[in-house]
Amino acid sequence: MNRSEPIRKAPSFLESLVQRRTLGYLLLGLVLLVAIWRLGNALLENPSLFLQQVTNGLQIGFVYALIALGYTMVYGIVRLINFAHGDVFMVGAFTSFYAISRIQLHLWTRALFPDLNPFIADVIGTISVVLLSMAVCALLAVTIERVAYKPLRNAPRISALITAIGVSFFLEYFGALNFVYTANYITYRRPFDVITWVIGDQGVQVLQKGQEVPAGAIIFSNISFIIIVVSIILLVLLQYFVKNTRTGKAMRATAYDRQTARLMGVDVDATISTTFAIGAALAGAAGVLYAIAYPQVVFWMGIIPGLKAFVAAVLGGIGSIPGAVVGALILGQAETLSAAYISTPMRDAIAFSILIIVLLVRPTGIFGEAQREKA
Amino acid sequence: MKHISRTTLIFLGSIVTFTLVVQVLISLGVLSPFWNTILRQGAVMAIVGLGLNLIYGFNGQFSLGQWGFYAIGAYSAADITYRWTNDANSNGLTVLFFTILLVGASILILYRVFGKIRGVDPLSAFAIYLIAAVGLTALAVSIGNLTAPAVNAILKALPTNIANTLVYLLAVIIGGILAAEVSFLFGLPVLTLGSDYFGIATLGFTIIVKVLLDNSDVMFGFVEMKGARGMIGIPKLTSWIWVMLFLILVIVITRNLLHSSYGRAIISVREDEIAAKAMGIDIGHYKTLTFVLGCLFAGLAGGLYAHINGFLHPDSFNFIKSFDPMIIVVFGGLGSVTGTVFAAFAWQLVLEGILRSILPPGFETWRYVVYPLLLLVMMLLKPNGLFGNYEIPYLRQVLPPLKKPATETQTPAAKESL
């Protein structure tokens, strides 16, 4: 409060109370304490159930991480909240759905090399499905970028945001038309069989069909395994790409200062397109993994995961790649744990409350840099 | 009458004529109830849009939370009238009345006190406000329940029509003020965030409100709101005249605010926060003021909307819809009151009315395929909106514009360009 008053005496105790953050942190600490108390209780009561929830959280967290990277990279380079990203994720899931159910892409190795070990055939088949989805999404994103965002690069930032929303609506409702995906839920066929392991007192066992899960055991399926492994591989590849290749350096340079990057000989337009393509490819992979984990596809399936991933990106500090991953893992845990131990219907509200609280403590996210003032 | 200028007379004359002509057309049956509803919803959207334009267009705060405050206004107003018309009980009215009265008074007093202290931390201040608000709400509930029988008796002594209209008007106003008070509490810590982060936090608010509404019956005991099943049985009291009265009121308030020294301070915050600070403008104060006022409008609009269809569903308040006011404001032109009002009506007419009637049967789902394409084409052709910075003479600033108008009307962060 700017009031021109004569030099005043030292603030009283009550004044200094509101001048510092003490009270605010006290309030937030109270919230945190209640949450920790609740989770600690849950862990003590039933450790295996708690660990099960953590595993589930890890699985969904990695899917969010893959989507969140697209948000964070695009925001880092063009300062655009790409609301169409969640729908690119949806297109990825649908691409894999058609690849599996119509052209049976996952079976091509078996058809060509009947003698191949079925395990290896499944692995190669699944990888080709994922790669196809990634390619389709990358192509889609580059098209979107060229058509909808590039002409607006020098327009007010909000115009591009509105076009992003427009593109998102278009992808959803065009997909909902009867000759595209229809507006119904469609059951998704997995490209491989599910194997579930039970980790309990008797060590690791394969769960047979119809068998009861013994009390105190943790279930772990090959789906969780695949999601976690594929995500980690893609994250490592991305990290290598961004840090060590020429294109990656160009991306970082463009994100830092577009004009200077241009002067240094970076092809800014191509770099931006590449960023969109990479982000979308990751979202495509996430779409396949998500559909494998929750075997249903529907035209609006991208909205909620997209939003969650966006929250994760902001939580970690939008523009930061490790931040997106950390944010997504935190969000995955927060979501599953709050659904299990606090309240299932309030899950989304809790996720967003965490976001707002984190932003109040760290206004640019966990890994975010302080906002740079550009001259 | 000599203090009223010519432009004011022309504006008021034309808008009142427009209202009356439409009313006559409605009474004669030329405009079917379908178009009547669309027009009323257009006016409601115009009010929400004006609130957002104040916050985003004139003060540069990127808010996606309007829809949450709209929902608060809608549900609280609907609850008041529902209890009165269906249960003949005014306890909703009295409880909320005392809540907004006590909480509002505490906010005003505390704001005064904190204004005297230098460098108040918003988060710590928020903690104190929150404690006061929660305590006083509990007090208000008991006072409200105690006074309800007396108010019931007074209202029942009045003719039914007048009593219903009175409760309806009070409900809409109370809903608006409640939204404004919530927005003050929420905005206090959140307004310190940078522009995009503020947008995201307010988007989060919208989603939180939607989730709370989904669970309003099971978890919070508001049985009549029926949670995710949707609230029915709200009296349909919002007539065309009422919406237009509120719209005119909101336009006049916006215009007078923007033309005062307050308005110039608000606009200076948008143009350059640091420069505004250097000129001795209390940025936090003006940000809060605009945010609260914008959310008050959203709450009023919500109350009006609730009484159009007599039906509320949490799905109408999900975050996808929260982009609608933003689209309208950008469509009309950021920082143009004329543009917002025009765009709100046009948006509603095109999306709900014209597209519905021109698409052949069986093609209704194409509506949302055509709409984003329209949006895209529009944005690519006119990135600054339909009206840019144009205002009709009544709304035009008397002073010369602060900077070059049109493209420069964004937040400092927005100027970092794409």
- Least confident window among A274-288, B118-132, B398-412: B398-412
pLDDT of A208 above 90: no
Q: Which of A151-165, A186-200, B289-303 has the highest mean pLDDT?
A: B289-303
Chain centroid to CA A297:
18
Mean pLDDT to the nearest integer, B104-133: 88
Query: Which DSSP helix (H) or strand (E) runs through B178?
Result: helix B160-190
User: Cβ–Cβ of B219/A345 closer than 8 Å?
Assistant: yes
Mean pLDDT to the nearest integer, B71-79: 94
For residue B329, give how far its alpha carbon lies from the nearest alpha carbon of chain A (Å): 10
| Per-residue burial over A37-65, b = 16 or more CB atoms within 10 Å of its CB, e = otherwise | eebeebeeeeeebbebbbbbbbbbbbbbb
More confident: B225 or A7? B225
Which of A18, A314, A353 shows the shortest C-beta gap to B121? A18
Which of A168, A176, A359 shows the shortest C-beta gap to B193? A359
SS3 B4: coil
Query: What is the C-alpha to C-alpha distance for residues A146 and A44, in angstroms, rounded to an integer?
Result: 54
Instruction: Locate all alpha helices (DSSP H) within chain A, ordered by sequence.
Output: 13-19, 22-45, 47-78, 85-101, 108-112, 118-144, 157-175, 222-244, 246-256, 258-263, 268-293, 303-316, 321-341, 347-361
Chain centroid to CA B60:
17
Residue in A123, A119, A118, A127 with CA at minimum distance from that of residue A99? A127
Mean pLDDT to the nearest integer, B39-52: 94
Q: Does B212 touch chain A (CB under 8 A)?
A: yes
Chain A, residues 340-369, CB within 8 A of chain B, namely 343, 345-346, 348-349, 352-353, 355-356, 359-360, 363-365
* Cβ-proximal residues to A369 (8 Å cutoff; 6+ apart), any chain: A317, A319, A320
B250: number of Cβ within 10 Å: 25
pLDDT of B393 above 90: no
What secondary structure does DSSP assign to B222-281, as a single string? -GGG-GGG-EE-------HHHHHHHHHHHHHHHHHHHHSHHHHHHHHHHH-HHHHHHTT-
pLDDT band at A285 (very low <50, low <70, confident <90, very high): very high
Query: What is the C-alpha to C-alpha distance for residues B71 and B79, in angstroms, rounded to an integer?
Result: 12
- Position B401 scores a pLDDT of 58
Residues from chain A that touch B330, judged by Cβ atoms under 8 A, are 158-159, 162
Which of A149, A162, A172 shows the shortest C-beta gap to B327? A162
Q: Does A12 touch chain B (CB under 8 A)?
A: no
Query: What is the C-alpha to C-alpha distance for residues B405 and B391, in angstroms, rounded to an integer?
Result: 12
Q: Enumerate the β-bridge partners of residue A196.
A: A221
- Position A193 scores a pLDDT of 82
User: Cβ–Cβ of B124/A21 closer than 8 Å?
Assistant: yes
Cα distances (Å, whole numbers) of residue B373 to A137, A163, B37, B279, B370: 20, 9, 25, 44, 5
User: Cβ–Cβ of A156/B123 closer than 8 Å?
Assistant: no
Residue in A197, A188, A193, A190 with CA at minimum distance from that of residue A221? A197
Q: Does A180 touch chain B (CB under 8 A)?
A: no
Q: What is the pLDDT of residues A14-58, one digit of tens each?
A: 777 777 888 888 888 888 898 889 888 888 888 888 888 899 999
Residue in A166, A140, A158, A128 with CA at minimum distance from that of residue A70? A140
ipTM confidence score: 0.87
A15: number of Cβ within 10 Å: 18
Question: What domains are defined for chain A?
Answer: 29-361 (1.10.3470)
User: Cβ–Cβ of A352/B197 closer than 8 Å?
Assistant: no
Interface test with B, best of A359, A362, A366 (most B CBs within 10 A): A359
Q: What percent of chain B has pLDDT over 70?
A: 94
Chain B, residues 65-84, CB within 8 A of chain A, namely none
- Position B409 scores a pLDDT of 47
More confident: A165 or B359? A165
- Position A280 scores a pLDDT of 95
Q: What percent of chain A has pLDDT over 70?
A: 96
Residues from chain A that touch B212, judged by Cβ atoms under 8 A, are 349
pLDDT band at A170 (very low <50, low <70, confident <90, very high): very high
Mean pLDDT to the nearest integer, B236-248: 92
pLDDT of A179 above 50: yes
Chain B, residues 97-156, CB within 8 A of chain A, namely 114-128, 130
Q: Work out how many CB contacts closer than 8 A connect A with B.
A: 209
- Position A74 scores a pLDDT of 92
pLDDT of A181 above 90: no
* Radius of gyration from C-alpha coordinates of chain A: 24
Query: What is the C-alpha to C-alpha distance for residues A174 and B366, in angstroms, rounded to an integer?
Result: 8
The two structure tokens encoding residue A264:
């240094």
- Contact in structure between A294 and A185 (CB atoms under 8 Å): no
